[in-house]
Structure 1
């Protein structure tokens, strides 16, 4: 996404309109030229790339567009790495300690680098040249990081990402968002709710899979203290929403007058005909490394129980609960498994509220022992579910034991 200073919006009355780049020959040429700059800089320092981009920008009037496209290329398609024989801070200690024994001079510098190259070559069992030491000495500075990989996009994909980022920036200052997901394929709802869950958004959900859902989300500007992090989480939801076939969105925004700085209200709307393109995969993703690790370990077990990924929507008042897994046995038995490992107070309160209201008699909760349930006001005796405790990793064998019991 784009930082605030690279967002371009205009206001028509109370309606906010983000800037979008048309897919014309001019913009495609501009995108291709920038992509070429990055391709030519693979293996070079970030400082060299920044200078090339600065020269490319020159005094062009469209410099904000250039900076926006370059920012997206850096953050989404580049891999910058610290290239040094040792961690730079350790390397500096060795160089400064060695050089302190000699009188400063160009000859002493050469001698220090030569001595250290021999010493490090022996320690690391590979050839370390004096130039490697000199290059690695301050390799941890941003301008000295090396562009080791560039996943080259095509020009149209880059422009689509730019247009989407401009729209995402609208939601940094949202106070209220209402999404109407009309009747769609149930799998599309699950993908949308999974991202709601992944980004820990505070949402009120009404409806059902047969008629559609209305999702009301509190924006970052409606919190007791405005949260940029929460605003980014809402913005990250938009590419997921694009995978839903039919939907509409209305947002209320808190903006400031350009001339007076006074706070004022703005509005923004979007729907499934917006022609934005998502870069999110429509494939199943895991909400956490904890879930992914559990699923991978389960695959190695020899058991008749089959682990299925997020297949049931459990409607509850004001929300929808999507357990992480379903466990199905050939004899017809099935259980839902929810892994509770996230610590945030609001999350825990909401999670156990959902469990109590779900009216589900085949639910298993795997709860981390590291969570402070008492502080969150959670009382397990009111929880209608089987409980499994775990520390750092959830053991598939512990789940099997609960199933067999």
Structure 2
């Protein structure tokens, strides 16, 4: 995304306005194409060489911030690495020691630089001509451009406009998102991304197929605001895949934290910057799915596909559903998201009043939820430390079905509602 120094915002009657660029402009497309070509041609070259050419292209005219912004987005698509056949630190140490020894040698009138470098090359097992390049290969300017994920000029200009909006949301104190008329699959994708990007949020259904989502912004937090701001930026592209939505964000802008409201709607013209990727799964949850698949059990684990209304005051989008084919039993597994302590209490109270009885609520110890706070919940509570354990989940599933002795597995209908 773009940093604050790469854009200028305007305030008009308390509203924040951005200098979106015309994505169809021939001049803008030409600049984008020139910059993309510069990156393509410098694969294998040094970062310093690339920066020097970019400086020549961007110049210092009225479009300076726009040009630098495009360059920043293209650099985000690069990987740089130190390219050296030997450890530059060890090589420098050996050269400096050899030079110092030569300086102390009173038989020499002057230090023979080439001889020192040749000796270091021989010791390191490299060619003498490689020494100069390897000498400072670990410095940032000397890093080599290993890969560049190229793109079209049209995509880059669209990405730039989205990045402008992301940079403003990075400084939001709160964000209100209204969405309506989407398919259940689209809502599931949106709600899951809220959760797995660990955004502090509340979801309320305001009508058939209509939802109001309130998200705490990074400027409302006391810590981790930078990381949290990046997570909000990552969430915005998911909204752009929706058709009928609007965002109103309260923002504190600049060093003086000037207050303003930032609004986005489909009429703003921002376009999705990539395909909808579906559910994003944290590593620890993906690890659970993999491990559960290795267990010898009749239970089947699949990604959740339902949106469960919680009394009109929120929704539950289970992460996984476990089914027992013979019994026809269905159990939801949901991981309690990243919440403030007050929001945790509110969420648990909502689940206590409206949560489904066939629910396993997984709570990380990092959330510091005590036994009293989690008592009285429907279904079962599963606590874990760093990662959930598949065998523990299986034990809970078996225990839940065992709570109805006397009913045969074929007729067990404990959890349907």
Q: TM-score, normalised by structure 2?
A: 0.81
Quote the offset at 1:99 in angstroms.
5.8
Select which of 138, 141, 144 maps to 1:143. 141
Once residues 167 and 337 of structure 2 are traced to their aligned partners in structure 1, the CA distance between those partners, rounded to angstroms, is 30
Question: Which residues in structure 2 correspond to 1:36-55 (within 5 Å)?
Answer: 36-55=37-56
Equivalent in the alignment of 1:373 = 368
Once residues 56 and 250 of structure 2 are traced to their aligned partners in structure 1, the CA distance between those partners, rounded to angstroms, is 40
Equivalent in the alignment of 1:69 = 70
Equivalent pairs counted in the alignment come to: 389
3-state SS of 1:371 partner? helix
Equivalent in the alignment of 2:330 = 334
Q: TM-score, normalised by structure 1?
A: 0.83
CA RMSD, Structure 1 to Structure 2 (Å): 3.2
Quote the offset at 1:349 in angstroms.
5.4
3-state SS of 2:170 partner? helix
3-state SS of 1:147 partner? strand
Quote the offset at 1:78 in angstroms.
1.0
Select which of 297, 302, 325 maps to 2:320. 325
Select which of 368, 371, 392 maps to 1:398. 392
Question: Which residues in structure 2 correspond to 1:262-301 (within 5 Å)?
Answer: 264-301=258-295
Quote the offset at 1:66 in angstroms.
0.7
Once residues 8 and 35 of structure 2 are traced to their aligned partners in structure 1, the CA distance between those partners, rounded to angstroms, is 20
Residues 296/86 of structure 1: CA separation in 2 closer, same or farther (3 Å cut):
farther
The structure that has the greater radius of gyration is 2
Equivalent in the alignment of 1:6 = 6
Equivalent in the alignment of 2:117 = 110
Question: Which residues in structure 2 correspond to 1:349-360 (within 5 Å)?
Answer: 352-353=348-349, 355-360=351-356
Answer yes or no: is the 8 Å Cα contact 2:118–2:128 preserved in 1: no
Answer yes or no: is the 8 Å Cα contact 2:91–2:124 preserved in 1: no
Answer yes or no: is the 8 Å Cα contact 1:116–1:130 preserved in 2: no
Once residues 15 and 367 of structure 2 are traced to their aligned partners in structure 1, the CA distance between those partners, rounded to angstroms, is 44
Answer yes or no: is the 8 Å Cα contact 1:78–1:151 preserved in 2: yes
1:360-402 Cα distance to aligned partner (Å, 9 max, x none):
222224455x63626x786444444434455554343333333
Whether 2:360 is the aligned partner of 1:364: answer: yes
Answer yes or no: is the 8 Å Cα contact 1:39–1:152 preserved in 2: yes
Quote the offset at 1:223 in angstroms.
4.4
Answer yes or no: is the 8 Å Cα contact 2:250–2:261 preserved in 1: yes
Structure 2 unaligned runs (5+)? 104-110, 400-417
Which stretch has the larger CA shift, 295-304 or 195-204?
295-304
Equivalent in the alignment of 1:307 = 301
